Amino acid sequence: MAETGFSCPQTREQVINMYFLEHRAKLLDVAAFLDRLDRARPTASNVDFREAALNEAVRILVDGQPQRAKRILALLSDSTTEIPQSAHGMKGASGAVRVNSGGAS
Amino acid sequence: MKYIDPHVHMVSRTTDDYQRMALAGCIAITEPAFWAGFDRSSAQGFFDYYRQLTEYEPRRAALFGIQHFTWLCINPKEADDPGFAREVIALIPDFLKCDNVLGIGEIGLNKNTKNEKIILEEQIALAEKHNQLILVHTPHLEDKRKGTRLIMDALSASQIDPGRILIDHVEEHTVAEVLDRGFWAGMTLYPDTKMTPQRATDVIEMYGSERIWMNSAGDWGCSDPLAVPKARIEMSRRGHQMSLIDKVTLDNPRTFLSQSEKFVLKAE
Ligand SMILES: [Zn+2]
């Protein structure tokens, strides 16, 4: 399944007119979240893997390449191939993986 | 305007929600069997749940002119104990005869374990034996892509036509593989953790409108039983044709579901 070219029925200007304020607010939410992290006392010497993953994901936002949503989801995906026997004792899903354990593929 | 919400857990919703959905144009829903938010203590708990899905909910929906269809299974979250899961699966064949049962669902994986996979394969075999449609649940977060691939491999190992299987909760990183392998794809619209109506519309623009539908998956968590009509509004305000909007929210669900002879819409 290939992506089509200009498949959105709106012009660039129409997309900005319709969605800019909504996404301006969402971007400010992310910025304020990162500021909040700065103001919070650390409890471990290492950066939490979720925070590290989020910082990597932010790079994808501004790299100018297509399929940003897909690539961020891939970055946040488990790329391991082992299958544990049982879920017993496993933690709930966290929404991210350690960035150096490999994501996008 | 008419639409179908093909994945919504009405046992967790109030009667007011049926009314609001009817006012928004909902003519039919399909309700997969799922996790109740806590683990049931016995197979008998599932027996009662299946009675609720096959006897009680269709009556409650009919009060508002909504047709109610359902899918039966043991959900992946409670399938990690194979012995228990098999006790539950043994209850299902009798219920498959009920008028509103369309197939086996929502089966799949939760934590991508061997135990879950064994029970997934046994339920795929059950669907195959009884010639049932399948509705698939995929994990929601970092385990979605891995889980979706494991599930598709298990499905492909059966003789079931992929056109009779819908894989739900697809996102941008799984939708192409699902469609490329011949399955149907479902997008779940959730207020917080899953697809928004905006992203679902983006996916249709990028990957087309063949073999794809949208649903609210409304349940006991933060969810929105009006998510499908909200997605219709999103597509409309973006300038999409009404024929495309109807295709993904009415025609496609009807086409897939009509592969079961039990799925006949009265409103048409
Ligand atoms: Zn569900």
Backbone angles phi, psi at B3, to 5 degrees: -150, 165
Angstrom distance (rounded) from CA A27 to CA B36 = 35
Q: Which of B146, B172, B239 sits opposite A70 (nearest CB)?
A: B172
* Whole-number pLDDT of residue A61: 95
* Whole-number pLDDT of residue B47: 98
CA atoms within 13 A on the CB side of B189: 25
State the smallest CA–CA distance between residue A77 and chain B in angstroms.
Answer: 4
State the smallest CA–CA distance between residue A62 and chain B in angstroms.
Answer: 18
**Alpha carbon of B188 to ligand 1 centroid (Å):** 9
pLDDT confidence band for A1 (50 / 70 / 90): very low
Q: What would the mean pLDDT of B133-140 be, rounded to a whole number? A: 96
User: What angle in degrees, to the nearest 10, is found between the helix axes of B114-129 and B82-89?
Assistant: 20
**Alpha carbon of B136 to ligand 1 centroid (Å):** 9
Q: Is B252 left (phi over 0), alpha (psi -120 to 50) or beta?
A: alpha
What CATH number corresponds to the domain at position B234? 3.20.20.140
Q: What is the mean pLDDT of chain B?
A: 97
Q: Considering the entire predicted model, what is its pTM?
A: 0.95
Q: Is B112 on the interface with A (CB under 8 A)?
A: yes
Q: Is B137 on the interface with A (CB under 8 A)?
A: no
**Residue B12: inside a domain, yes or no?**
yes
**Residue B266: inside a domain, yes or no?**
no
Contacts across the A-B interface (CB distance below 8 Å): 91
CA distance readout (Å), A65 to A60, A77, A99: 8, 19, 19
pLDDT confidence band for A101 (50 / 70 / 90): low
DSSP letter assigned to residue B13: S
- A3-22 as b/e, with b when 16 or more CB fall inside 10 Å? eeeeebebeeeeeeeeeeee
pLDDT confidence band for A105 (50 / 70 / 90): very low
CA distance readout (Å), B81 to B70, B87, B146: 24, 10, 21
**Of the ranges A40-44, A46-50, B158-162, which is most confident?**
B158-162
Task: Check: CB of residue B112 under 8 Å from CB of residue B77.
Answer: no
Nearest CA in chain A to B77: A87
Question: Amino acid letter at B247?
Answer: K
Q: Which of B140, B173, B208 sits opposite A93 (nearest CB)?
A: B140
Please give the angle made by the CA atoms of B134, B5 and B157, to the nearest 5 degrees.
15
**Residue B265: inside a domain, yes or no?**
no
What residues have a C-beta under 5 A from ligand 1, the ion? B 34, 217
Q: What is the pLDDT of residues B36-84, one digit of tens each?
A: 999 999 999 999 999 999 999 999 999 999 999 999 999 999 999 999 9
Percent of chain B residues past pLDDT 90, beyond the cut: 97
Q: What would the mean pLDDT of B15-21 be, rounded to a whole number? A: 98
Q: Which domain holds residue B105?
A: 3-257
Q: What would the mean pLDDT of B184-197 be, rounded to a whole number? A: 90
Residue B96 exposed, middle or buried by CB count within 10 Å (0-12, 13-18, 19+): middle
Percent of chain A residues past pLDDT 90, beyond the cut: 79
**Alpha carbon of B7 to ligand 1 centroid (Å):** 6
State the smallest CA–CA distance between residue B8 and chain A in angstroms.
Answer: 22
**Residue B268: inside a domain, yes or no?**
no
Q: What would the mean pLDDT of B90-112 be, rounded to a whole number? A: 97
Asked if the Cβ–Cβ distance from A76 to B111 is below 8 Å, we say no
The DSSP bridge partners found for residue B241 are none
**Residue B264: inside a domain, yes or no?**
no
* Whole-number pLDDT of residue A65: 97
pLDDT confidence band for A46 (50 / 70 / 90): confident
Q: What's the structural domain count of chain B?
A: 1
Nearest to B56 by CA among B31, B75, B92, B27: B31
Tell me which chain A residues have a C-beta less than 8 angstroms from the C-beta of B202: 8, 69
Query: Among residues 215-254 of chain B, which lie with CB inside 8 Å of chain A?
Result: 237-240
Nearest CA in chain A to B145: A77
pLDDT exceeds cutoff 90 at B165: yes
Asked if the Cβ–Cβ distance from A69 to B202 is below 8 Å, we say yes
Q: What would the mean pLDDT of A79-99 be, rounded to a whole number? A: 92
Asked if the Cβ–Cβ distance from B113 to A87 is below 8 Å, we say yes
**Alpha carbon of B138 to ligand 1 centroid (Å):** 10
pLDDT exceeds cutoff 90 at A5: no
DSSP letter assigned to residue A47: P
Q: What is the pLDDT of residues B196-220, one digit of tens each?
A: 999 999 999 999 999 999 999 999 9
